[in-house]
Chain A
C-alpha cells in the first residue's frame, strides 16, 4: 500500500465524519402509485374526451391570443438617462409594493451557502419564502402575515413552528448601501443577516429589496434593449466603481425590475446570484401562494427550540 493510498483512506474517513449520525434526516417515503388499479374503461374514455376538449380549447385560445396581441417591436437604444430609469423604477416599485404580489425566484452559487434556489413572494405585510436544494427538493418554507405572524417548516427535520405575535415594521436601514453591499453576492436572498428582519419584525418586501438594489448600484444604461422572458426590458448595469456589481433589467413598459444579476466581485467566476421577478395581480389563486402549507405528518416544535438564530430554518 502506497503512502498516497494510506493518506486517502485516512483523510476521506475523517472528512466523512463531518456527517454525524445525529444529522441524518428522517426518511420521507412518498405515497406509492404502485397499488393503484389500472383506470377503468369508462375512466379512460372520460380522460380521452377531456384531452380532446382541452386541446380544442387551447387551440381556440391560442388563435384568439394571436389576434388580440399587438405586435411587439424592439426599439433601438433608449433615449432616456439612467437616472430617469432609476427614478421611474423606484416610483414603480413604491406603487407595486402594496398593489401587486411580487414573486421572485433567486438562484445563487458560491458565497456563504451552497448553490440554492429560493422562491419568494410578498404582498403588503404578507411574505413567504421557500428554499430548494440543488436537487430541487424543498429545504424550508417560511412565511409571515399579520394573521399568523411567523410560520416555518423544515423539510429536513420534518418539523414546523409557529410564532404568533404582532408584526412590527422592518428594522430601519441604518447603514444604507454599505449594508446592501455586505450581503453580496446574495443581494436578494431572504433571511440573510443585514436584511433588517428579526423574529419580532417583518422581513423586507421584495419591492424594498429591489429598491435598495437599484438605488445602490450606481447604474448606467447598457446599449440596446433586451427581451427577458418575453418582456422588452431596459438593461442597466453598474459602473466599475460601484460597490455592487450588478445588472438589472427593468420593463420598458412598467419600469418594474424583471431580472437582477448580482456578483460578489466584478470578475469572471465570482459567486453570483440571479433573481427573476414576476408581478402578479392579487387574485385568490395568487394570494394562496403566500400561505405556508404544513405537510401532513410533520411535527410541531416550539418556536424557541426551532432555530438557534431567529428566522433561520435549521
Chain B
C-alpha cells in the first residue's frame, strides 16, 4: 500500500501533522502573550534570569507535549503557572546541591545593583532568604497579584495553607528588613 494511502486509512500522517501544527501555533501564540510575565514571575522567585528563561521554556515545551492529553484547555495560563512554579522548585532543589548557586548575584545584575535603590535591593535580598514555599506564596500574592484560591491551586495546597504560609513569610520578611535597617 502506498504511504499516502496507508496514512489516510490509519488516520495518522496528515491529520496528525495538522494537529501538531495547530498545537505548535497555539503554544507559540500563548508564548507571545505570556512569556514575559512568566519569565518575570520565575525571575522574582529564583533571582536568576537564565534559569527563569529555561524554566518557562520547559513549561511551554511541556504544554506542547501534553497538548492532546489536556482535559481542559480553558485555563492554559493556570496550567503554565503551575508548571513554572514546579520548575522553580526543581531549580531550587538543584541549587541547594550546588552551594550558593542562587544566593550569589548573577553577572547581569552587577549593573542593576548600582542603579537599584537600596530599599529595593534589601527587599529582594530578604525575599531570597525565605524558605521556597513562603517565597512562592508571597511572589504569587504580591507580585503576580493572584487571589488566594488561585495561589492554592498553583501551589497544590489548601487555601488555609496559603494563608498561613503567606503570614509566616510576611512576618519573617518584616523581621529581616527591620534587622537590616
Contacts and interface: CB of A to CB of B under 8 A. Distances in A.
B101 A15 contact: no
Contacts of B57: 25, 27-28, 137
Contacts, number: 151
B149 interface: no
Interface stretch (B72-80, B138-146, B156-164): B138-146
B10 A34 contact: no
Interface string B20-50: 1001100110010001100111011000111
Contact of B44 (A15, A24, A35, A115): A15
Contacts of B20: 32, 34-35
A132 B98 CA distance: 14
Contact of A27 (B23, B31, B104, B109): B31
A135 B143 contact: no
Contact of B40 (A19, A111, A115): A19
Nearest to A15: B124
A78 interface: no
B177 A15 contact: no
Contact of B64 (A29, A109, A113, A134): A29
Interface string B62-74: 0011011000000
A134 B50 contact: yes
A16 B40 contact: yes
A86 to B, nearest CB: 29
Given A34-B20, A134-B101, 16 more contacts: A8-B173, A9-B142, A11-B119, A11-B123, A12-B124, A13-B143, A14-B120, A15-B43, A18-B43, A24-B53, A25-B53, A35-B12, A110-B104, A115-B101, A137-B54, A272-B99
23 contacts: A4-B177, A7-B123, A8-B173, A11-B123, A12-B127, A12-B143, A18-B108, A19-B36, A24-B36, A24-B53, A28-B61, A29-B64, A30-B61, A32-B20, A32-B23, A34-B68, A109-B98, A110-B100, A111-B104, A134-B54, A135-B51, A137-B54, A137-B57
Interface of B: 10, 12, 16-17, 19-20, 23-24, 27-28, 31, 35-36, 39-41, 43-44, 48-55, 57-58, 60-61, 64-65, 67-68, 87, 90-91, 94-95, 98-104, 106-110, 112, 116, 119-120, 123-124, 127, 138-139, 142-143, 145, 170, 173-174, 177
